[in-house]
Amino acid sequence: MRATPVVALLRWVRLERVWARLALWLLLPALLCGWWALGRGVAYARLGLAYAAPLDGQEGMALWEASLLRSGAPLYQPPHPERFVSAPYPPLHPLLLAVLGEHGSHVFLMGRLLSLAAVLLIALVGGLLAHQVTRSRWAGATSAVLLLSFVPLQLWALRIKPDPLGLALTVLGLWLVARWEAGRGLSHTLILAALAFTLAHFTKQTLLAGPLAAATYLWLHDRRLALRWTALTLALVGASWLTLDLVTHGQYTYHIWILHKLPWYAHRFWKLAAQLRDAWPLMVLGLIGLGVCWRRPTVINAYLLWAPASLIGAGVTGSHHNHLLETGIALALAGGQAAGLGLTRGGVLRLVAPVLIATQLLVWRAPLPWFAGEFSPDPQYTRYIEFIRATPGEVLADDVGLLYAAGRALRYDDPAAQGPAAALGLWDQQRLVSEIRAGHFSAIILPIDVFADGIDDPADRWTPEMLAALREAYAIKFRDSLIIYAPKGSF
Distance (Å, rounded) from C-alpha 348 to C-alpha 353? Answer: 8
Look at residue 10 in the predicted model and tell me its pLDDT.
Answer: 40
Instruction: Give per-residue burial for 52-78: e unless 16+ CB within 10 Å, then b.
Output: ebbbbbbbbbbbbbbbbbeeeeebbbe
Task: Write down which residue in 358, 375, 392 finishes a domain.
Answer: 375
Tell whether 86 is covered by a domain: no
- Judgement on whether residues 257 and 147 belong to the same structural domain of the protein: yes
Structural domain of residue 387, as residue ranges? 382-487
- Judgement on whether residues 397 and 356 belong to the same structural domain of the protein: no
The CA distances from residue 344 to 165, 257, 300, 359, in Å, are: 32, 46, 17, 22
Q: Which residues are within 8 A (CB) of 224 and not within 5 positions of it... i.e. 6 or more apart?
A: none
- Judgement on whether residues 322 and 437 belong to the same structural domain of the protein: no
Query: For residue range 108-165, what is the model confidence (pLDDT) as tens digits?
Result: 999 999 999 999 999 999 999 999 999 999 999 999 999 999 999 999 999 999 999 9
Look at residue 5 in the predicted model and tell me its pLDDT.
Answer: 56
Look at residue 162 in the predicted model and tell me its pLDDT.
Answer: 97
- Judgement on whether residues 387 and 355 belong to the same structural domain of the protein: no
Tell whether 71 is covered by a domain: no
Residues of the chain where predicted confidence (pLDDT) is lower than 50? 1, 6-15
Look at residue 130 in the predicted model and tell me its pLDDT.
Answer: 97
- Judgement on whether residues 31 and 121 belong to the same structural domain of the protein: yes
Asked if 149 and 364 touch (Cβ cutoff 8 Å), the reply is yes
Asked if 82 and 432 touch (Cβ cutoff 8 Å), the reply is no
Tell whether 85 is covered by a domain: no
- Judgement on whether residues 233 and 332 belong to the same structural domain of the protein: yes
Q: Which residues are within 8 A (CB) of 393 and not within 5 positions of it... i.e. 6 or more apart?
A: 441, 442, 443
Tell whether 88 is covered by a domain: no
Judged by phi (left if over 0) then psi (alpha if -120 to 50, else beta), residue 391 lies in: beta
Q: Is 17 exposed, middle or buried (0-12, 13-18, 19+ CB in 10 A)?
A: exposed
- Judgement on whether residues 332 and 437 belong to the same structural domain of the protein: no
Asked if 303 and 178 touch (Cβ cutoff 8 Å), the reply is no
Q: Is 392 helix (H, G, I), strand (E, B) or coil?
A: coil
Tell whether 389 is covered by a domain: yes
Distance (Å, rounded) from C-alpha 174 to C-alpha 367? Answer: 28
Q: Which amino acid is at 49?
A: L
- Judgement on whether residues 475 and 346 belong to the same structural domain of the protein: no
Q: Positive or negative, the Cα torsion across 403, 404, 407, 408?
A: positive
Task: Write down which residue in 375, 390, 409 finishes a domain.
Answer: 375
Tell whether 84 is covered by a domain: no
Task: Write down which residue in 319, 347, 375 finishes a domain.
Answer: 375
Number of domains in the chain: 2
Look at residue 16 in the predicted model and tell me its pLDDT.
Answer: 52
- Judgement on whether residues 329 and 478 belong to the same structural domain of the protein: no
Look at residue 442 in the predicted model and tell me its pLDDT.
Answer: 97
Look at residue 103 in the predicted model and tell me its pLDDT.
Answer: 82
- Judgement on whether residues 465 and 420 belong to the same structural domain of the protein: yes
Tell whether 390 is covered by a domain: yes
Distance (Å, rounded) from C-alpha 150 to C-alpha 361? Answer: 9
- Judgement on whether residues 224 and 263 belong to the same structural domain of the protein: yes
- Judgement on whether residues 352 and 424 belong to the same structural domain of the protein: no
Query: For residue range 10-42, what is the model confidence (pLDDT) as tens digits?
Result: 444 444 555 566 766 788 888 999 999 999 999
The CA distances from residue 32 to 138, 171, 239, in Å, are: 13, 25, 47
Tell whether 73 is covered by a domain: no
